[in-house]
Structure 1
Amino acid sequence: MKSLIKISFIALVLVAVVSCKKDSRPNYQFMPNMYEPVGYETYSESDAFKNGVEAQLPVDGTIPRGFTPYEIENTTEGFELAKATLLNPLDSNEIDLERGKELYNIYCAICHGTKGDGQGNLVKREKILGIPSYDDVGRAITEGSIYHVIYYGKNAMGSYANQLNEEERWQVVAYVLDLKTKLEK
């Protein structure tokens, strides 16, 4: 009797397994969203919050982590203020002229030249004109003025605030001042 129960149970399990297999339809997917995720558009309306998109924006007056606000305005007065008062916060141990040179060659040398003489490739090809040399007599550049121009841009030069973080901007400033001293010799 026991063997008949065992045999019938095994037969029932085999029949159940064989009857579930159909080659004509695909297998079942458990948690189909794991295999086929739903794409959401950035800043699209969402049912997750009562107020919609506004609830997903940062609170007014908050500052993202790792961001230091630059308080000087993009005006002529702001430029003069930066030129007179803004100093490099990096000490001499943190300044890496090799890194500053690398960043300068990537972002600045195409116009300003690798020596800071205003003879970059775009100037030589006459695509951009009027780039002065760093050692021009009427051009008293300082740490603050260089940083301000990198942050906001000036004349035909655009801002590089999105391409360079704060520390990288100061590395470029140190390298530009190094180029200036080499040109003056």
Structure 2
Amino acid sequence: MKNLIKIFVLVIVVSSVVSCQKNSRPNYQFFPNMYEAVPYETYSESDAFANGVAAQLPVDGTIPRGYTPFEIENTPEGFEYAKANLKSPLDSSEIDTPRGKELYDIYCGICHGNKGAGQGNLVKREKILGIPSYADVGRAITEGSTYHTIYYGKNAMGSYANQLNEEERWQVVAYVLKLKADLEK
């Protein structure tokens, strides 16, 4: 008899728990706008902001996470300053030659060639002319000049500041200087 009562109580408890569950109705939400945000079309009119436009520009003076501003200007004087004074923050243990080669092959090798001799595929196909070799006499390539050129571009070369972060740029600089040393042997 006692087992029958235990079974009866167990059935009632299980059935009451199952019967109270209602999957068609969500649970009560505190602050529902945090879960289901109101979508706004970009540049559409909106009462959410004071200027009446949904898309907002970043606040003046803000810097994106992970971004380090480059203080040297994009001028001939800035290039000469970088050439003379800018040094790599990477020490010899942080230089990753295989990674620098990989980045160089992706971004630079198409014009400058895999060995830095100025004979990349675009030069061989005569799509771009006048790419000098890293070993040309009169080209005083330094860490600073290479970094400045990667950051801002020079002559027909565009900037790679958006494609390469700061650490990757310095890896490419180290690889370019290695190629220059190999060509001068």
TM-score computed with the length of structure 1 as normaliser: 0.76
**2: CA distance, partners of 1:122 / 1:55:** 41
- Structure 1 unmatched runs, 5+: 1-27, 31-36
**1: CA distance, partners of 2:41 / 2:170:** 36
**2: CA distance, partners of 1:96 / 1:79:** 26
**1: CA distance, partners of 2:112 / 2:163:** 17
For the 8 Å contact 2:152–2:161, the answer to whether it is kept is yes
Output aligned runs, 1:71-90, within 5 Å. 71-90=71-90
Among all aligned residue pairs of Structure 1 and Structure 2, give the percentage whose two residues are the same amino acid.
82
For the 8 Å contact 2:41–2:54, the answer to whether it is kept is no
Change (3 A) 1:115 1:52: same
Q: Please give the per-residue CA displacement for 1:43-90, whole angstroms capped at 9, x wherever unaligned.
A: 544321223449832221222221100011111001001101111111
Q: Which residue of 1 aligns with 2:58?
A: 58
For the 8 Å contact 2:151–2:160, the answer to whether it is kept is yes
Change (3 A) 1:87 1:52: farther
- What is the identity, as a one-letter code, of the residue corresponding to 1:71? E
Q: Which residue of 2 aligns with 1:114?
A: 114
**2: CA distance, partners of 1:127 / 1:150:** 21
Q: Please give the per-residue CA displacement for 1:100-159, whole angstroms capped at 9, x wherever unaligned.
A: 000000000000000000000000111101000001111001000000000110000001
Q: Does 1:176 align with 2:183?
A: no
Change (3 A) 1:67 1:38: same
Change (3 A) 1:91 1:45: farther
Q: How many residues align?
A: 155
**2: CA distance, partners of 1:152 / 1:90:** 20
- Structure 2 unmatched runs, 5+: 1-23, 27-36
- What is the identity, as a one-letter code, of the residue corresponding to 2:157? M
Q: Which residue of 1 aligns with 2:158?
A: 158
- What is the identity, as a one-letter code, of the residue corresponding to 1:92? S
Q: Which residue of 1 aligns with 2:8?
A: none
**2: CA distance, partners of 1:45 / 1:84:** 52
| Counterpart secondary structure, 1:56 | coil
For the 8 Å contact 1:49–1:55, the answer to whether it is kept is no
How far apart are 1:42 and its partner, in Å?
Answer: 3.6
For the 8 Å contact 2:82–2:144, the answer to whether it is kept is yes
